[in-house]
């Protein structure tokens, strides 16, 4: 049964998916997607590009369908028929206009020696080129815990997940098996990723596309939770904040990982976690290509997370995804609420402070978008 037949057969037309969706309201959208996927009608690119791939529609659907799978299939069909545009190729490591290549021309990028280690840490492109604090903090914690680790970073190891989400599976096909081999070669028993997109690629997509992995795959929040349980890390410095944890969509609804980051936060002296469950979690506005296709909408959605945090009386938002970090930092430039990556926050509690230059990072990434994408407009933050 193809995806349209299955959706049409199971959907009870309750409208819950559109009720929770932050991007679409048109009740005809499911019918338009059926028609486009079956080849009986066309669809506007806007109907495909607006999706954040946040998965809220899937979580809300009583039949576990939602709109996201239809939109993802339609994106792949669109790319097959129309080719990729420069807003999609910016995440293809082999493309001329790759965003991270451009950033590497403008900024210093950390390099790590190739070496063996029982743990391989995979910071992903967002951590390597944009939110370097994620890498610095994670590496500082691995050192502190006395772990035998190596770092696998750089465009040649891009996991390919973001490009696949834009409808281009080329990079995942080209890099997937090579990445698996490199991790095996280093003798790793555990792979840790910072970005939820990389986590999903290794944990879910690679085993389906290639072969079962002979190493365990953990997102950094899961590994930090483990290190705290094993008492390899001890947060001794009190961080007296009321904290809002922002659940990254691809980690939570995408992979079902909700609790470990919360466990970490609850172990930090002085910290009060305000949202102890995932209830009310929502997208930061970054995903599904929204940051580059609709920059102002993207940042405006991120601002909603500040409203949610303020409603709970929080002074700090902690998250653990490169895209969420970038969007929350950009949306919060003039906010009093501080943003932290989970590893950065735990490192601080363990006595390691990582310096950050948020304005420089945001200016750099906007300059890179402007060079890589025709007619890119910086988000309107007014
Ligand atoms: S994934 Fe998110 S943005 Fe896309 S259709 Fe579903 S709820 Fe809407
Ligand atoms: S929530 Fe699920 S069952 Fe209800 S209309 Fe949407 S896809 Fe159909």
**Tens digits of per-residue pLDDT, 280-330?**
999 999 999 999 999 999 999 999 999 999 999 999 999 999 999 999 999
Assign 3-state DSSP to the chain and report helix, strand, coil percentages, each to 5: 50, 10, 45
**Distance (Å, whole) CA 347 – CA 370:** 34
**Tens digits of per-residue pLDDT, 328-352?**
999 999 899 999 999 999 999 999 9
Residue 90 in domain: no
Neighbouring C-beta atoms of residue 165, cutoff 10 Å: 22
Q: Given the CA of residue 12, which atom of ligand 2 is nearest to it?
A: 3
Q: From ligand 1's centre to the CA of 22, what distance in Å? A: 7
What ligand has the least distance to the C-alpha of 67? 1
Ligand 2, pocket residues at CB < 6 Å? 11-17, 60-63, 65-66
Residue 6 has pLDDT above 90, yes or no: yes
Q: Are residues 251 and 318 in the same domain?
A: yes
Residue 66 in domain: yes
What ligand has the least distance to the C-alpha of 34? 2
- pLDDT at site 229: 98
What ligand has the least distance to the C-alpha of 7? 2
Q: Are residues 280 and 367 in the same domain?
A: yes
Q: What are 245's two structure tokens?
A: 């944890």
Q: Are residues 241 and 215 in the same domain?
A: no
**Tens digits of per-residue pLDDT, 207-258?**
999 988 999 999 999 999 999 999 999 999 999 999 999 999 999 999 999 9
Pocket test for ligand 2, best of 51, 58, 63 (most atoms within 8 A of CB): 63
- pLDDT at site 110: 85
Domain that holds residue 31: 3-83
Which residue, 83, 117, 141, sits at the end of a domain?
83
* Confidence (pTM): 0.94
DSSP character at residue 155: G
Q: How many domains does the chain have?
A: 3
**Are 156 and 174 in contact, with CB atoms under 8 Å apart?**
no
Taking only Cα atoms into account, the Rg of the chain, rounded to an integer number of angstroms, comes to: 20
Q: Are residues 116 and 207 in the same domain?
A: yes
Residue 346 in domain: yes
Which residue, 227, 247, 264, sits at the end of a domain?
227
Residue 125 in domain: yes
Nearest CA owner, ligand 2 atom 7: 66
């Amino acid at each position: 049964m193809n995806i349209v037949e299955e959706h049409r057969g199971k959907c009870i037309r309750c409208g819950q998916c559109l009720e929770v969706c932050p991007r679409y309201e048109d009740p005809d959208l499911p019918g338009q997607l059926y028609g486009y996927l079956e080849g009986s009608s066309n669809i506007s690119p806007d109907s495909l590009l607006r999706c954040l791939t946040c998965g809220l529609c899937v979580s809300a659907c009583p039949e576990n369908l939602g709109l996201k799978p239809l939109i993802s299939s339609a994106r792949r069909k669109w790319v097959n028929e129309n080719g990729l545009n420069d807003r999609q190729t910016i995440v293809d490591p082999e493309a001329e206009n790759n965003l991270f290549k451009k950033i590497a021309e403008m900024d210093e990028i950390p390099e790590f020696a190739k070496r063996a280690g029982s743990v391989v840490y995979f910071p992903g492109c967002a951590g390597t080129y944009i939110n370097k604090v994620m890498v610095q903090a994670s590496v500082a914690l691995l050192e502190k815990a006395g772990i035998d680790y190596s770092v696998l970073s750089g465009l040649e190891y891009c996991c390919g997940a973001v490009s696949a989400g834009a409808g281009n599976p080329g990079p995942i096909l080209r890099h997937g098996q090579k990445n698996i081999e490199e991790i095996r070669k280093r003798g790793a028993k555990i792979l840790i990723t910072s970005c939820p997109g990389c986590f999903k690629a290794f944990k879910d997509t690679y085993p389906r596309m290639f072969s079962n992995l002979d190493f365990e795959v953990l997102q950094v929040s899961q590994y930090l939770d483990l290190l705290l349980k094993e008492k390899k890390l001890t947060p001794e410095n009190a961080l007296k904040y009321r904290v809002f944890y922002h659940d990254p969509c691809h980690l939570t609804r995408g992979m079902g990982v909700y609790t470990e980051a919360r466990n970490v936060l609850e172990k930090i002296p002085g910290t009060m976690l305000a949202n102890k469950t995932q209830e009310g979690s929502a997208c930061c506005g970054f995903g599904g290509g929204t940051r580059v296709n609709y920059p102002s909408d993207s940042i405006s959605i991120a601002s909603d997370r500040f409203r949610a945090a303020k409603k709970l009386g929080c002074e700090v938002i902690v998250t653990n995804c490169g895209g969420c970090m970038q969007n929350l930092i950009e949306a919060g430039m003039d906010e009093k609420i501080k943003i932290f990556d989970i590893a950065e926050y735990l490192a601080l509690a363990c006595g390691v402070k990582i310096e950050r230059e948020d304005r420089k990072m945001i200016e750099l990434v906007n300059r890179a978008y402007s060079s890589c994408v025709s007619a890119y407009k910086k988000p309107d933050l007014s």
